[in-house]
Amino acid sequence: MGGSSGAVRVGLIGTKFMGRAHSNAWLNVSRFFDLPSAVAMHAVCGRDKVDTPKFAQRWGWANSMTDWRQLIADGQVNLIDVGTPNDVHAEQSIAALEAGKHVACEKPLAGTLAKARQMRDAARKAKKCQTFVWFNYRRCPAVALAHNLVAKGRLGRIYHVRAAYLQEWGGPDTPLVWRFKGDVAGSGAHGDLNAHIIDMARFIAGDEVTEVVGSIEETFIKQRVIPGEAGAANKGSAGKGGKKRMGRSTVDDAVLFLARFKGGAVASFEATRLATGNKNRNTIEINGECGALRFNFERMNELEFYDATSDATTRGWTTIMCTDAAKHPYAAAWWPDAHVLGYEHGFVNQAADIVRMLAGKKPEVPMPDFEDAYKTQCVLEAAIVSAREKRQVAISEFK
């Protein structure tokens, strides 16, 4: 595994959910993809001085530390991977860019539009540094195939984009973790889930949202149990008399909005953590003059396609199993046909594209950078402004 471009030496910040997903990607990417550069898992940084070394040993990191500034200053690292909560994305990413490092950052780009703009501007200044954003669903073979079909004109003119990301885990028993704190997360289901489907809609349609024409924002559960100091996730801290202490949720539980695309399509977006009966239902349907497609991440290896130009006597929805090594994006790196992929493979596929791009090669499908992710952040902002000010909001207001 070599290459003239030199090794990609990764420093990861964050050891929780995304830290695990990213670690798994860097650990396995060279085992499945023939890459132009070697990958070195140089160091991981976490806040807990006891748990972070254990995390490093378990996931294959050569070194561990608790000061992310020390990691960024490490001369052996040339790519900083930011897998932390939203409120520190900007500070960590900008510091890395100023130190001359490439940056891969989790989504959403930041907790606020102002911070996202700072990140975009820092990336513009750091001309020798590349930036990447972990919108991992682009790297699902079925979603990548949908993008390719639209790019080839198989849907023709697009009329409708209909996207929803539905989860149920945020019910009344869920404690006041950081995702329910506005000063840390920035927003709730909106930034967490709508960010994904906005990016996915832009990516598949190959078009930009120009206007949010109406929006609803709702926080159904306004008080949540404060997690215990040592705390199992669903146990609260006991106050006097053994009563659980409650804290205020300062983010949305659900945001729904309508939008227009530059090419004339109309769109609907819905994100919620209170859609009882839905575990991780990330869905999109696009209807065009020549055909349509639809995708549901709970069946992530399948893409449904409707060819409106085919013989009317047999016309109908076709379910494509997107695992053919010769035909489908990323499939050649993995298993025999219909030996299906899972959630973690999207991250591995993205890690492969990051390595390719750092070596000056093209990714399998377009990669979101800070400039691109800022466009998604503008749509997120427009939806919130529309909900709170009860008006149509042009995306151009946030340029």
* Residues 255-264: tens digit of each pLDDT: 999 999 999 9
Measured distance CA(190)–CA(45) in Å, rounded: 28
**Which pLDDT band, with edges at 50, 70 and 90, does 242 fall under?**
low
Same domain, 105 and 164: no
pLDDT value for 244? 83
Same domain, 118 and 198: no
In a domain, 216, yes or no: yes
Q: 181-193: per-residue pLDDT in tens?
A: 999 999 999 999 9
Same domain, 58 and 180: no
In a domain, 83, yes or no: yes
Same domain, 227 and 109: no
Measured distance CA(370)–CA(347) in Å, rounded: 18
HSE on the CB side for 113, CA within 13 Å?
15
pLDDT value for 262? 98
Same domain, 182 and 70: no
Same domain, 41 and 179: no
In a domain, 308, yes or no: no
In a domain, 193, yes or no: yes
Calculated CA dihedral for residues 324, 372, 376, 124, nearest 10 degrees: 160
In a domain, 149, yes or no: no
In a domain, 332, yes or no: no
**Which pLDDT band, with edges at 50, 70 and 90, does 235 fall under?**
very low
In a domain, 92, yes or no: yes
Count of domains for the chain: 2
pLDDT value for 228? 75
pLDDT value for 6? 86
In residues, how long is the chain?
A: 399
Average pLDDT estimate for 217-229: 90
Strand partners, 321: 302
Same domain, 175 and 266: yes
**369 pLDDT above the threshold of 80:** yes
For residue 17, the domain's CATH number is 3.40.50.720
**Which pLDDT band, with edges at 50, 70 and 90, does 234 fall under?**
very low
Same domain, 14 and 85: yes
Residues 6+ apart with CB under 8 A from 243: none
Could you tell me the residue range of the domain that residue 119 belongs to?
8-133
Same domain, 162 and 255: yes
**Which pLDDT band, with edges at 50, 70 and 90, does 2 fall under?**
very low
Same domain, 382 and 266: yes
**33 pLDDT above the threshold of 70:** yes
Same domain, 129 and 161: no
**67 pLDDT above the threshold of 50:** yes
In a domain, 345, yes or no: no
Average pLDDT estimate for 192-202: 98
Q: 73-116: per-residue pLDDT in tens?
A: 999 999 999 999 999 999 999 999 999 999 999 999 999 999 99
Residues 6+ apart with CB under 8 A from 378: 113, 395, 398, 399
